[in-house]
């Protein structure tokens, strides 16, 4: 089993009980099989606490994750066969042939990026298929 990879942010949203604005904590987690998005809060106004597992990560919060932590890049062995890489990408991302060509082009150009857990998931799937791949975050200067 590989190590879990995660990134978290805090953001303001309403308490589900009393409607007060409270600070939520959201975390995108890659466990050994899949990505998930968990959120939680504790309300200082009414004392309610909630933990929501395996929600959908909203695009706006994903944007915050990328802005706060910086995007990670997916690097794939340049000698890996396109067809083999594309097969893994299509299976994992559930996208069509045209889209997967675009993604592959981005990977080959070193510009395909996402959150670290997302890129790590793809890297693991590729490695499981025998293709050298790694997710990494460029050092910010
Ligand atoms: Zn409350």
Q: How far is the centre of ligand 1, averaged over its atoms, from the C-alpha of 91 (Å)?
A: 42
Q: How far is the centre of ligand 1, averaged over its atoms, from the C-alpha of 24 (Å)?
A: 12
Share of the chain above pLDDT 90, in %: 84
Q: How far is the centre of ligand 1, averaged over its atoms, from the C-alpha of 50 (Å)?
A: 10
Q: Does 103 have pLDDT greater than 60?
A: yes
Q: How far is the centre of ligand 1, averaged over its atoms, from the C-alpha of 23 (Å)?
A: 11
pLDDT tens-place string over residues 70-93: 999 999 999 999 999 999 999 999
pLDDT band at 23 (very low <50, low <70, confident <90, very high): very high
Helix (H, G, I), strand (E, B) or coil at 124: helix
Separation in Å, CA 96 to CA 17, 86, 103, 121, 134? 42, 10, 11, 19, 23
Q: Which domains does the chain have, with CATH numbers?
A: 5-69 (no CATH), 72-136 (3.30.1390.10)
């Amino acid at each position: 089993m590989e190590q879990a990879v995660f990134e978290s942010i805090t953001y303001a949203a309403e308490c589900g009980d009393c409607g007060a604005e409270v600070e939520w904590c959201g975390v995108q987690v890659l466990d050994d099989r899949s990505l998930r998005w968990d959120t939680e809060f504790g309300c200082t106004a009414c004392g309610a606490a909630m933990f929501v597992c395996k929600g959908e990560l909203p695009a706006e919060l994903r944007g915050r994750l990328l802005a706060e932590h910086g995007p990670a890049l997916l690097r794939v062995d340049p000698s890996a066969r396109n067809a083999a890489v594309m097969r893994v990408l299509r299976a994992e991302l559930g996208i069509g042939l045209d889209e997967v060509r675009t993604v592959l082009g981005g990977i080959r150009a070193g510009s395909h990026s996402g959150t670290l857990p997302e890129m790590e998931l793809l890297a693991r799937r590729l490695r499981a298929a025998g293709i050298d791949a790694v997710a990494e975050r460029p050092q910010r200067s």
